[in-house]
Amino acid sequence: MAEDGSAFDTDLARLASVNLNLLVPLLALLEERSVTRAADAVGVSQPAMSHALRRMRRLLGDELLVRQGATMSLTPRATSLIAPLQRVLQQTARIVSAGPFDPADDRRVITVAMTTSTALVMGGAFARLVAERAPNAVLRLRTATITSTAMVTEEGADVVLLSEALPSPHPRERLYDDRWVVITNSSAPKDADALELLTTLPHVVFEAAPLRLRPYQVLDAEGIAYTVRRHTSDNLLVPELISAAGGVALHRYRVAAAMSRHLDLRIEEFPFPVQSVGMDLVWNPWLADDEFKLWLRGLLFEAAG
């Protein structure tokens, strides 16, 4: 221990026994989950990458990558290492870089996680802004039917776009608000209002939501009877099913409006007061590059606008 009582010298002594050159291939292995792809990403031979994996397994006392059938999976310890490793290596890269963050020259991988529905709403605009302002960066969009803050550790996301209804242990801020609408197609009775559509047509329901959608909570509270005939685990498929096969569904306005450009969709306002549905930004808590974070935040708000 140092004379001032800190553990600084002890920590440095511990690091002196570790080959820090292994950290870059380790991160590649955890992100790629493949020795071959990791070797290609780092620019070393496959035997050299396999050797690095063996050394890290001995050092950490963990298998890190385990084979499951034809694929490789991460151990829980390996999953927990992704975000801290990204943070450490990004900070190290900035220390040895020539200057402050400049999007025009930056070559980092930008990872943003969002649902497929949100990607439809703003993914294209966001990708265009990144291409224009950070032409040397690599954009990685991680999409799922439902996002969670686990994508920070499991997917290495810099930021997750998360519905306000879903929990997060990390700080969050509102990106945009959306509203609930009723959707059907042109075969529905022209003179039927939204409530009539909801009570007379068969419903298509997104079944993978961990929480019951707010409009259905309202319908139940109002004692409104309705019939569900179709279920899907992909929310983005709901408007497609409505367009092709009729019926009625409840959806976010921004998604319905975007898909109505190429689908047969009729959009009506929900007939009862209902709380809006918000989309939040949840940042990777290990993302320490404040200049990059501020720049990325600005792009996301611009794309969502």
For residue range 215-262, what is the model confidence (pLDDT) as tens digits?
999 999 999 999 999 999 899 999 999 999 999 999 999 999 999 999
Higher pLDDT, 278 or 21: 278
Alpha helices in the chain (DSSP H): 8-16, 23-32, 35-42, 46-60, 76-96, 116-118, 124-133, 150-154, 194-200, 214-221, 237-245, 253-259, 290-304
Taking the C-alpha atoms of residue 232 and residue 246, their distance in angstroms, rounded to an integer, is 15
CATH of 8-96, one of 3.40.50.10860, 1.10.645.10, 1.10.10.10, 1.20.120.720: 1.10.10.10
Task: Supply the pLDDT for residue 1.
Answer: 46
Taking the C-alpha atoms of residue 154 and residue 162, their distance in angstroms, rounded to an integer, is 15
Q: Is the pLDDT of residue 10 over 70?
A: no
**42: how many CB neighbours lie within 10 A of its CB?**
18
Taking the C-alpha atoms of residue 245 and residue 119, their distance in angstroms, rounded to an integer, is 24
Task: Supply the pLDDT for residue 272.
Answer: 97
SS3 220: helix
Q: Is the pLDDT of residue 83 over 70?
A: yes
- CATH code, residues 180-275: 3.40.190.10
The alpha carbon torsion through 36, 154, 81, 79 (nearest 10 deg) reads -80
204 Cβ neighbours under 8 A, 6+ residues apart: 228, 229, 230, 231, 232, 238, 241, 242, 247, 248, 249
Instruction: Tell me which H or E stretch contains 64.
Output: none
Strands 138-144 and 109-115: parallel
Task: Supply the pLDDT for residue 254.
Answer: 95
Structural contact between residues 120 and 145, judged by C-beta atoms closer than 8 angstroms: no
Task: Supply the pLDDT for residue 155.
Answer: 73
Give the CA count within 13 Å in the CB-facing half-sphere of 289: 26
For residue range 136-152, what is the model confidence (pLDDT) as tens digits?
999 999 998 888 877 77
**Amino acid code (one letter) for 61:** G
Q: What is the CA radius of gyration of the chain?
A: 24
**1: how many CB neighbours lie within 10 A of its CB?**
9
Output 62-67 pairs: Cβ under 8 A, ≥24 positions apart.
64/26, 64/29, 64/30, 65/29, 65/30, 65/33, 65/35
Higher pLDDT, 165 or 19: 165
**Mean of the per-residue pLDDT values for the chain?**
88
Higher pLDDT, 223 or 43: 223
pTM score, whole prediction = 0.71
Higher pLDDT, 118 or 207: 118
Give the CA count within 13 Å in the CB-facing half-sphere of 276: 10
pLDDT bin (cut points 50, 70, 90) of residue 44 is confident
Q: Is the pLDDT of residue 156 over 50?
A: yes
Structural contact between residues 170 and 283, judged by C-beta atoms closer than 8 angstroms: yes
pLDDT bin (cut points 50, 70, 90) of residue 98 is low
82 Cβ neighbours under 8 A, 6+ residues apart: 27, 30, 31, 153, 154, 156
Which two tokens mark 265?
A: 């969709």
- What stretch(es) of the chain map to CATH 3.40.190.10? 109-168+281-304, 180-275
Phi, psi of 204 (to 5 degrees): -105, 125
Task: Supply the pLDDT for residue 21.
Answer: 79
**22: how many CB neighbours lie within 10 A of its CB?**
16
For residue range 105-119, what is the model confidence (pLDDT) as tens digits?
988 889 999 999 999
Which of 57-61, 152-156, 221-225 reaches the highest mean pLDDT?
221-225
CATH of 109-168+281-304, one of 3.40.190.10, 3.40.190.290, 3.30.230.70, 3.40.1160.10: 3.40.190.10
The 8-class DSSP code of residue 224 comes to -
22 Cβ neighbours under 8 A, 6+ residues apart: 52, 55, 56, 59
- What stretch(es) of the chain map to CATH 1.10.10.10? 8-96
